[in-house]
């Protein structure tokens, strides 16, 4: 670091770079957004004129001034580019999913340890307001001992979007790689690592190559957790459903941060995006011997919290918000889910 700033570079200026990384690195007082890779365009010039423009990740990694590089390229490139970043002596933030396999994730982690470099996995959905409401409910004990949970990430996209790295015949393509890392990570954070996995995935829409639906069942000793996503859900259902021995909690997916970022609203270090203006959850339980059924409203989320936590970790005043070990655990479940789909069996972990 020079001048008290962490000088950061971003490997891509597609949707994730424009929405989830550049605005936060630019707005946080502890970072300097120093460099951005755009292979052909120069869209970043308008909003970040002081950032250097590189045409390749190799050139970005060769910049001697950078302290931190964000690998936010398509999943099939994560392994190769993460190794390149670490070999260049830079610290690393790596988009989810960590890699295509747990083995690749472990190799990246070993290199980070050898090079004594920092590595953190970008799991921004830990900072969603709706998920935080679920986490608070689980920790409250109001539901009693949990027996069943379902986490969903549904969309209505009846026509393919045309992005080959997400929907084509490439390693890491498909909705299972795209969305299950969010749900798997949230489940592990709340319930720990499961005993076994059973999964199904297939192609619901015509003329698609990669999977656009998945269901993953996580087995715990006294709990079952179902993770699901589909591309043909016009009518949304509750994103989180929890059933315990005392009560139930249902929570909508209502975090507004992505929408605000798409509208061009710049984030700040403090809470910059309001929570929902109306109730988005239902609690039905027993409290102090009385039956309670009421609507609940989640609070605001804050993706800036992730980069603030990374800043604290890099400056030695806080823990890594999402260490490599978390990402490896997530990848082991995804590996097991893919094996379960192929073999049509429960896979022990």
Domains and CATH numbers, the chain: 6-122 (3.40.50.720), 126-300+332-348 (3.30.360.10)
Q: Which of 91, 146, 96 is nearest to 123 (CA)?
A: 96
Residue 156, phi then psi, degrees to nearest 5:
-120, 95
Token pair for residue 322? Answer: 């999402």
Query: Residue 125 has what DSSP assignment?
Result: G
What is the tens place of the pLDDT at every residue in 77-118? 999 999 999 999 999 999 999 999 999 999 999 999 999 999
| The residue to which tokens 């910059």 are assigned | 272
pLDDT at 2: 55
Number of H helices and number of E strands within the chain?
12, 15
Measure Cα distances from 17 to 12, 23, 74, 151, 238 in Å. 6, 8, 12, 26, 29
Could you check whether the bond before residue 267 is cis, i.e. omega within 30 degrees of 0?
no
Is the separation of the CB atoms in 167 and 243 below 8 Å? no
pLDDT at 318: 98
Token pair for residue 201? Answer: 């995935």
Is the separation of the CB atoms in 49 and 23 below 8 Å? no
Residue 321, phi then psi, degrees to nearest 5:
-65, -35
Mode of pairing for the β-strands spanning 224-230 and 213-219: antiparallel
pLDDT at 1: 62
Give the separation between CA 189 and CA 213, rounded to whole angstroms. 23
Give 10-residue mean pLDDT values along the chain (349 residues): 83 97 97 97 95 98 98 98 99 98 99 98 98 98 98 92 76 95 99 99 90 98 98 95 99 95 87 89 96 97 97 97 99 99 98
pLDDT at 166: 74
What is the tens place of the pLDDT at every residue in 221-241? 999 999 999 999 999 899 999
- The model's pTM is 0.95
């Amino acid at each position: 670091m020079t001048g008290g700033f962490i000088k950061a570079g971003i490997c891509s200026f597609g949707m994730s770079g424009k929405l989830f990384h550049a605005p936060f690195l630019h707005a946080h007082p502890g970072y300097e957004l120093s460099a951005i890779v755009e292979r052909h365009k120069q869209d970043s010039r308008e909003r970040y004129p002081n950032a250097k423009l590189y045409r390749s990740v190799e050139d970005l990694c060769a910049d001697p001034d950078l302290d931190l590089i964000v690998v936010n390229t398509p999943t099939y490139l994560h392994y190769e580019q993460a190794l390149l970043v670490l070999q260049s002596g830079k610290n690393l933030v790596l988009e989810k999913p960590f890699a295509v396999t747990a083995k690749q994730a472990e190799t990246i982690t070993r290199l980070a340890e050898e090079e004594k470099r920092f590595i953190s996995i970008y799991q921004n959905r830990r900072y969603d307001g709706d998920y935080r409401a679920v986490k608070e409910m689980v920790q409250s004990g109001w539901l009693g001992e949990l027996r069943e949970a379902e986490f969903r990430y549904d969309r209505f996209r009846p026509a393919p979007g045309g992005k080959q790295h997400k929907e084509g015949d490439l390693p890491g393509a498909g909705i299972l790689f795209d969305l299950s890392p969010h749900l798997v990570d949230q489940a592990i954070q709340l319930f720990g690592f499961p005993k076994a996995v059973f999964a199904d995935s297939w192609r619901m829409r015509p003329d698609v190559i990669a999977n656009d639906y998945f269901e993953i069942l996580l087995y715990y000793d006294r709990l079952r957790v179902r993770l699901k996503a589909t591309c043909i859900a016009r009518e949304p259902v509750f994103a989180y459903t929890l059933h315990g021995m005392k009560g139930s909690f249902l929570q909508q997916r209502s975090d507004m941060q992505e929408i605000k970022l798409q509208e061009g609203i710049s984030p700040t270090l403090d809470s910059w995006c309001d929570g929902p203006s109306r109730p988005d959850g239902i609690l039905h339980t027993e409290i102090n011997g009385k039956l309670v059924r009421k609507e609940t409203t989640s609070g605001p989320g804050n993706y800036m919290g992730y980069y603030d936590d990374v800043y604290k970790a890099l400056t030695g005043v806080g823990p890594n918000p999402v260490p490599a070990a978390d990402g490896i655990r997530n990848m082991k479940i995804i590996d097991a889910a893919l094996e379960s789909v192929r073999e049509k069996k429960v896979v022990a972990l």
